[in-house]
Amino acid sequence: MSGTILYGSFFLLIAAILFYTAFQFYRSNNFKLSLGLITLGGLLMRIFTSLDPFLHEWDERYHALVAKNLTKHPLLPTFYDVPILEQDLLWVGGHVWLHKQPLTLWLIAGSLELFGVSDFAVRLPSILLSTAMIVLTYYIGKSLFGSKEGIIAAFFIAVNGLFIELSAGRIATDHVDICFAFFIELAILFAIKHRQNLNLKWVIPMSVSIGLAILAKWLPALIVIPVWLLLTYNKSNWKISLLPLSVCLIITSAVFIPWQVYIHTSFPVEAAHEQAMNWRHFTEALEDQTGPFYYFFHRIMVNYGELVYIPLIWFLFSKRTTVLKTNYRALLIWILIPMVFFSIPITKMQGYVLFIAPALFIITAYFINNINSVSTLANKPWLSRLVIFLFFFLAFRYSVERIKPFQERDTPEWKTEILELKASHSGEKLVIFNCEHYAEAMFYTNFIAYDRIPNENDLAKVKAAGYNYLILE
């Protein structure tokens, strides 16, 4: 048996023991210990998957490089830190880099500053934030329906393959969408806290969290506001919501608008280009990322469980008390508004609606905990147990499928070559040409790298800037 199989088997065994023990504490109503073990299991899964010894192509390598450059100048996001040669404004090149809002990149930069330049340091903020979302999901589920629902929902997000892969940087939108989803969920938890006592003190952290979510990605973070307003709406005195809403809008704006003003005044050309790119998502399939109108309604089955439609349909049509009606409407707004909105643009990617996942898991958990009230299952305990088993089995199966615990994870040849160049040209001011992994080369070294063959004019500029050059074969 190879070392990889032994390593993967040991990991799965530890994870299974943690989740099984958590289930036993759940059965005895010891929810704190159950949550602790589920969180530990989720953290283990994220760390294990994040041990790939290289940067991933889309989009991690670009985010990592810009974050590394931010360690030197936090208010100047750059791709090519020293722009010797003219570059276009594409997000995979150029000098000033505004393709993403800065918060995620600042967090990665902080990790690189603390722990050094490494693949794992790039992923550490996402590992911690997505692990924290396990706890947030528990408390939201508990507040809306009960501790059992909170624990079940926490388990689903702990083992979810999409969250784990994004935290590890393996798939596109990676750390940005994790950061975005975290601050949206944090804001919704504060919104629920505000609903419980209507104390204005909860509006402040909620609003800051919304502003930070916008600084992580963009304006879809405002989904928190309709969810919050529905939770706190008072039909007999709707004016009572005006002061908290005004405070929310002022604080949220104060958090995210200064950066927008700064980039439009300091880098007007690049900022205008990125603003135009945002609008092009509605009319073009950028980088061939597209799908039919129902794309996201299909993807939730792929990413959050093949049975997810069952609790959703049941949730839509089952009867509830007035309080539960408010809770379920808030969850449906959290899910449906983003899904419908993101179905309109031509460009579509699965990570766009990642932040609805906690709501889907909470609805699924509520269904599981109330499965005996489902008319078709009420008198068939064997069928109820089978359905519950399938929910958990399919979630864990998808997790293992995405983690790939038995896959070889050797250092790729291209990274070895880059590190050899770093060692053999230590301290040299060097520009590398014809480098396929140019972004990674600039991350792992202090060299400048391009993926093209230079012309005579390029080489003259390199020499004039005081750099040596190397053209790879």
Q: Helix 31-49 to helix 3-27 angle, to the nearest 10 degrees?
A: 160
Give the model's pLDDT for residue 377. 66
Helix (H) or strand (E) holding 252, with range, is helix 242-266
Residues in contact with 332: Cβ distance below 8 Å, sequence separation at least 6, in sequence order: 315, 316
289, 349 Cβ separation under 8 angstroms: yes
Per-residue confidence in pLDDT tens, the chain, 473 aa: 467 788 889 999 999 999 999 999 999 999 999 999 999 999 999 999 999 999 999 899 999 999 999 999 999 999 999 999 977 766 778 899 999 999 999 999 999 999 999 999 999 999 999 999 999 999 999 999 999 999 999 999 999 999 999 999 999 889 999 999 999 999 999 999 999 888 899 999 999 999 999 999 999 999 999 999 999 887 556 666 788 999 999 999 999 999 999 999 999 999 999 999 889 889 988 888 899 999 999 999 999 999 999 999 988 887 666 567 889 899 999 999 999 999 999 999 999 999 999 999 999 999 999 887 676 666 778 888 999 999 999 999 999 999 999 998 899 999 999 999 999 999 999 999 999 999 999 999 999 999 999 999 999 999 999 999 999 98
Amino acid sitting at position 116: G
What is the reported pLDDT for 380?
78
466 plus 367 within the same structural domain? no
Flag whether 310 is in a domain: yes
The whole-angstrom separation of Cα 181 and Cα 140 is 14
Cis omega (within 30 of 0) for bond into 288: no
Note the pLDDT of residue 7: 87
Q: Counting runs of H as helices and runs of E as strands, what totals does the chain give?
A: 20, 3
408 assigned to some structural domain:
no
The answer on 420 and 371 residing in a single domain is no
Same domain, 23 and 49: yes
Predicted local confidence at residue 375, as pLDDT: 60
CA 232 to chain CA centroid, nearest Å:
28
Give me the pLDDT at residue 88, please: 73
The strand pairing partners of 96, in sequence order, are 78
Together in a domain, 293 and 437: no
Give the total number of structural domains in the chain: 2
Residue ending a domain, choose from 403, 434, 461: 403
Domain end (from 383, 403, 423): 403
454: domain range? Answer: 413-471
pLDDT at residue 274, rounded to an integer: 92
Residues 173 and 280 placed together within one structural domain of the fold: yes
Q: 350, 376, 403 — which closes off a domain?
A: 403
Report how far residue 334's alpha carbon sits from residue 257's, in angstroms, rounded to the nearest whole number. 24
Distances in whole angstroms, Cα of residue 315 to Cα of each of 159, 311, 431: 23, 6, 59
